[in-house]
Amino acid sequence: MTSQNSLKLTDESGVIGIIRIQTAEDLLAIAGALHRGGLNCLEITMNTPGALRAIESTREKLPQVLLGAGTVLDAISAREAILAGAQFLVTPTVKLDVLEVAHRYGVPAIIGAMTPTEILTAWEAGADMVKVFPASVLGPKYLQEIHGPLPQIPLVPTGGITAENAGDFIRAGAVAVCVGSWLVDKKAITEGRLEVLTERARQLVEAVRKARES
């Protein structure tokens, strides 16, 4: 799968689901619940225990899902994630060594940045998308201001995104949104109510769809 085709898949629903939990025990079930809600692009963070094994098993059990590794902080972790089956990499900061490994293996990279200089630096270095983080602090207006002079850069806000504000970020110029803690509700997981995750995924997909149409 080429980088272009991989990233096209992330644009279908406009939502990348982030799975960051304290145990890998329920990872596959969580991924399945999110997929049933319409998410075809998921990210398992590397600071989740057993992340590499989880990536391998999820790729095997849910081949229809585009699966990436998030919170990739160095080149070694990047290579390990790719060898485990990660189809894209996500960083929280401008990590050019991670981007270099991604290019070497032909894997898309979404590089994290905050300031206009960081965003442009990541893009000029070859990032496929730029993750604007932390979106919970910056807000949709900040994204709109960045998108004005830099419309060529595909921006993906991350942090504090919910079904209520996802549309605001899309209308501000985001090509997609990354959603984690609101989507993967820890209380619902503890209680075994994975249908909550499925419903939240549906709400997000619908919110993004409506924002794109408007």
Beta strands in the chain (DSSP E): 15-19, 41-45, 66-70, 89-90, 109-113, 129-132, 155-157, 177-179
Give the pLDDT band (50/70/90) at residue 1: very low
Whether residue 21 has pLDDT greater than 90: no
Distance CA 99, CA 123 (A): 11
Distance CA 158, CA 16 (A): 9
State the residue for tokens 């509700």: 185
Tell me what the pLDDT averaged over the chain comes to: 93
CATH classification of the domain holding 160:
3.20.20.70
Q: Which of 129, 122, 131, 41 is nearest to 87 (CA)?
A: 41
State the residue for tokens 């644009």: 11
pLDDT at position 23 is 67
Answer whether 112's CB lies under 8 Å from 135's CB.
no
Distance CA 58, CA 85 (A): 9
The residue type at 154: P
Catalytic one of 60, 80, 95, 131: 131
Instruction: Give DSSP secondary structure letters for 90-109.
Output: E-SS--HHHHHHHHHHT--E
Give the pLDDT band (50/70/90) at residue 57: very high
pLDDT at position 2 is 46
Q: Which residue blocks in 37-128 are alpha helix, DSSP H?
A: 51-61, 75-84, 96-105, 116-124
pLDDT in tens, 180-195: 999 999 999 999 999 9
Residue 192 structural domain: 3-213
12 is a catalytic site residue: no
Give the pLDDT band (50/70/90) at residue 26: confident
131 is a catalytic site residue: yes
Distance CA 82, CA 175 (A): 24
pLDDT at position 12 is 79
pLDDT at position 61 is 93
Give the pLDDT band (50/70/90) at residue 9: low
First to last CA, the chain: 31
pLDDT in tens, 122-153: 999 999 999 999 999 999 999 999 999 999 99
Q: Which of 15, 11, 7, 10 is nearest to 163 (CA)?
A: 15
Whether residue 166 has pLDDT greater than 80: yes
What is the SS3 assignment for 136? helix
Q: What is the mean pLDDT of residues 70-79?
A: 98
Give the percent of the chain with pLDDT over 70: 93
- Whole-structure pTM value: 0.94
Q: What is the mean pLDDT of residues 99-126?
A: 97
Catalytic one of 8, 12, 25, 43: 43
Count of domains in the chain? 1
